Amino acid sequence: QVQLVESGGGLVQAGGSLRLSCVASARTFDYYAAGWFRQAPGKERELVAAISWSGAYTYYADSVKGRFTISRDNAKNTVYLQMNSLKPEATAVYYCAAAPTTYSGRNYVPPRPRDYDYWGQGTQVTVSS
């Protein structure tokens, strides 16, 4: 069982920045791909960014490319989401998720919510206009 705890959410003005962090309780964060999802009121949960276990491969939703950066520090069991040039439409609850993988899948970036077995409780991000 892996527990994920997000932090770093808050209220920011449009154009501002936030950095989200997700710490995993696992003995090691090796063998887990990780992703950041968000869900706004009345909308489906969407994948914002994801990163392979190796850290070598990433995915970004078109709406955040060039402004958000996902990274990880496996030694600290932590995944980050740096969000720059934030827009009001980014307002949502942001969830960290982890997908178990194997060594052969170390470069795999899971694209779907059902690929992820473990989820954090979410952190609210609000961007004011």
Query: Which pair of structure tokens corresponds to residue 106?
Result: 């170390």
pLDDT for residue 28 is more than 80: no
Distance CA 121, CA 29 (A): 18
CB atoms < 10 A from the CB of 65, how many?
10
- Read off the pLDDT band of 83 (50, 70, 90): very high
Give the mean pLDDT of the chain.
95
Rounded-to-integer distance, Cα 116 and Cα 97, Å: 6
pLDDT at 35 over 90: yes
3-state secondary structure of 64: coil
Neighbours of 9 (CB within 10 A): 18
Quick: pLDDT tens for 41-52: 999 999 999 999
Average of per-residue pLDDT across 52-56: 94
Dihedral sign, CA of 39, 21, 24, 28?
positive
- The pLDDT of residue 96 is 97
User: What is the pLDDT confidence band of residue 27, given thresholds at 50, 70 and 90?
Assistant: confident
Determine the average pLDDT of the residues in 61-79: 96
Looking at the predicted structure, is the pLDDT value of residue 104 above 90?
Answer: no
